[in-house]
Each structure stands twice: as structure tokens, then as C-alpha cells.
């Protein structure tokens, strides 16, 4: 049974470019050169790799560049296998299914200044946003890039570095700068965003804890370990469109229960950071454990991979 079809787009690997130490840039296009579905600056897509793995990567081109998706992938020898597969097995001409783009940064009305903080390959979503803001001239921005020594995607960042839009901080020489000084004080017209290693994103969360949630954007590389709730109780999930009821056992994830019930749910990180399994909820009292939904979004959506319920019954828009 499928409550919500998992949509993938057929793409062709049109180009593979070396873009730094252990970094490759992959360009994906429609087989017939049609425009691809639109995306926000810095949105991400799931790649459904030929070996069965599903992995999430940020787009580093900008929305106006709408005939291709461009992703930068760093080969992680000790990773979960997706980057190794892309580096070692994928060739120009291969077919890869991708999800519809989701997430990304919304330039939005009322934002006059952006401060981006990136660690290493975490620069990719901000390269997309920087290109968009440069082209449209909508707002001022500064991108602080932390690297040990070598700049990733150096050829693509060169013009932004020369223009003073990207400030490179080589931590092997000076250590990591104080994030609070880079971000500054909370201002209604400033949006701050971070993508990088867990230690960096944790520090960023700490220094922006007093900022309005709408002015903060954080993307993570790796989902945090799933917290075990010793007080978890079983509950019932009702699918509004079919009336089907599914029991979620104490300690079981909602995602696992739905899959046991034959419901197809798009997944990728399974840790509440990528947004693949976002589902609307209609009734109940969900417990949100994701690291991606805004307070406003949580009034309508949840991530079934990590969400729980404080009520005996939770109704999903499925």
C-alpha cells in the first residue's frame, strides 16, 4: 500500500568535475534537456543511487540555473557509503533518480542582511544562496568559511572571495573564530545560517539561542543519535484519507510502524535532519524531535522518523 507516492525524477549525470581534495562536483540534467523542477537557493535533493542507497545533498547552483542540479560530494572513507559510491562507481551518462527538491533558504521580504557560517564542504548550500543574492541584489551577505587549510570548491568561490563576500578562516593557523562575534546581535532584518560539523552547529545554536526562530537556519551533515525515551507509551496512528489505523509499539518509531503497515514513506537520514519524511498531522499531540522544522511548521507537520505522540491517537494527513 502507498499512502503517498514517492516521487523521483530521472536524471542523467552530465558532468563530473574535480573540485578539491576528495571533492567532486556532479551535474545532473533531464535526459531530454527539459527544465528540472524548481528549487529554493540551497535546497537539497535525495539521490537514489543504483546500489539502493538514498543520500541527501545540497544543491550548489542557483534557482535561475534551472536545467540542471549541481551537487558537491566529499568522499568520506568512514561514511555510510553514499559518497564512496558516487566517487568510485558513478560515471558520466549514468542514470540517477532524484527526489523533488525541498528546503533551502528563502530570501524573503524584510531580510536585508544574511550572515552565513560554513565548515568545509558545508559551504555548498550557501554557494547557491550567494549566487542567487549576487544575481538579484536583494540583500547584503557575508559568508564565513572555516577550513583547516584548503578551500573547497575554490574555483567557484574565487570571485566571491575577491569581492570580499566570502571570508576564509584557516583554522590550522588561527583556530576557529568566535562565532558570536561573526554573527553579531539579533536583528529583525538579519538572517543567520550555519552548515558544518556537529561541533560548529552546536556552537552556532548556542550563540543564536536568543534570536527569533524565523531568523535562524541550520543544516547538519549527520543526524544525532536517536534518544531512547524510557517513558514512551504505545499509540495509534490513524491515516485520515483511508481511515486505516496502525499501532505504534512503545519504543518503536512511527516510521517503522508505518512501513510495517505497508505504507511507503520517503526516507533518507532517518534522524530528523533532512526533511524527506515530512507528513502533515491533523489531530493529536505530536512530540517533535526533529532538527529541521520551524515552530510554525510544527503546527502542521512532523517527521515520522523521529516524532512521537503524547496522546493515545495521532491523525496523519495520509
Per-residue pLDDT, 6 = 59
Is there a single domain that holds both residue 77 and residue 125? no
Is there a single domain that holds both residue 16 and residue 92? yes
Residue with the larger pLDDT of the pair 130 and 3: 130
Is there a single domain that holds both residue 95 and residue 118? no
Domain boundary among 220, 248, 267: 220
| Containing structural domain, residue 162 | 113-220
Confirm whether 180 is domain-assigned. Answer: yes
Is there a single domain that holds both residue 85 and residue 55? yes
User: How many domains is the chain partitioned into structurally?
Assistant: 3
Would you say residue 1 has pLDDT above 50? Answer: no
What CATH number did the domain enclosing 123 receive?
Answer: 3.40.50.80
The pTM score is: 0.82
Non-local (6+) Cβ contacts of 178 within 8 A are none
Q: Mind listing the pLDDT tens digit for each residue in 196-242?
A: 998 999 999 999 999 998 899 988 877 777 777 777 889 999 999 99
Q: What is the 3-state secondary structure (H, E, C) of 111-158?
A: CCEEEEEEEHHHHHHHHHHHHHHHHHCCCEEEEEEEECCCCCCHHHHH
Average pLDDT, the chain: 91
H or E element in which residue 95 lies: strand 95-99
Task: Over range 159-177, report the average pLDDT.
Answer: 94
Domain boundary among 220, 253, 283: 220
Would you say residue 64 has pLDDT above 80? Answer: yes
What CATH number did the domain enclosing 91 receive?
Answer: 2.40.30.10
Per-residue pLDDT, 109 = 67
Per-residue pLDDT, 293 = 86
Amino acid at each position: 500500500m502507498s499512502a503517498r507516492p514517492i516521487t523521483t525524477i530521472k536524471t542523467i549525470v552530465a558532468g563530473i568535475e574535480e573540485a578539491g581534495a576528495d571533492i567532486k562536483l556532479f551535474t545532473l540534467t533531464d535526459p531530454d534537456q527539459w527544465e528540472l523542477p524548481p528549487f529554493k537557493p540551497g535546497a537539497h535533493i535525495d539521490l537514489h543511487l543504483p546500489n539502493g542507497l538514498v543520500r541527501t545533498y545540497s544543491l550548489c547552483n542557483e534557482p535561475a540555473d534551472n536545467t540542471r542540479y549541481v551537487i558537491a560530494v566529499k568522499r568520506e572513507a568512514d561514511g555510510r557509503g553514499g559518497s564512496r559510491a558516487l566517487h568510485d562507481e558513478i560515471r558520466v551518462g549514468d542514470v540517477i533518480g532524484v527526489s523533488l527538491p525541498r528546503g533551502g533558504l528563502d530570501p524573503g521580504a524584510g531580510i536585508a542582511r544574511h550572515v552565513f557560517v560554513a565548515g568545509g564542504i558545508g559551504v555548498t548550500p550557501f554557494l547557491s544562496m550567494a549566487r542567487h543574492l549576487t544575481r538579484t541584489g536583494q540583500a547584503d551577505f557575508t559568508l564565513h568559511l572555516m577550513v583547516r587549510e584548503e578551500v573547497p570548491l575554490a574555483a567557484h568561490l574565487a570571485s566571491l572571495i575577491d569581492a570580499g563576500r566570502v571570508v576564509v578562516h584557516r583554522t590550522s593557523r588561527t583556530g576557529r573564530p568566535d562565532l558570536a562575534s561573526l554573527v553579531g546581535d539579533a536583528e529583525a532584518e538579519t538572517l543567520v545560517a550555519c552548515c558544518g560539523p556537529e561541533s560548529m552547529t552546536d556552537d552556532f545554536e548556542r550563540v543564536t539561542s536568543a534570536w527569533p526562530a524565523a531568523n535562524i537556519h541550520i543544516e547538519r551533515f549527520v543526524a544525532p543519535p536517536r534518544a531512547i525515551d524510557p517513558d514512551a507509551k504505545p499509540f495509534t496512528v490513524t491515516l485520515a484519507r483511508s481511515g486505516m489505523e496502525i499501532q505504534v509499539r512503545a519504543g518503536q518509531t512511527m516510521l517503522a510502524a508505518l512501513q510495517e503497515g505497508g505504507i511507503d514513506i520517503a526516507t533518507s537520514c532517518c534522524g530528523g535532519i533532512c526533511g524527506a519524511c515530512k507528513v502533515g498531522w491533523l489531530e493529536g499531540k505530536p512530540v517533535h524531535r526533529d532538527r529541521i522544522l520551524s515552530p510554525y511548521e510544527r503546527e502542521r507537520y512532523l517527521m515520522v522518523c523521529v516524532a512521537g505522540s503524547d496522546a493515545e491517537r495521532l491523525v496523519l494527513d495520509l
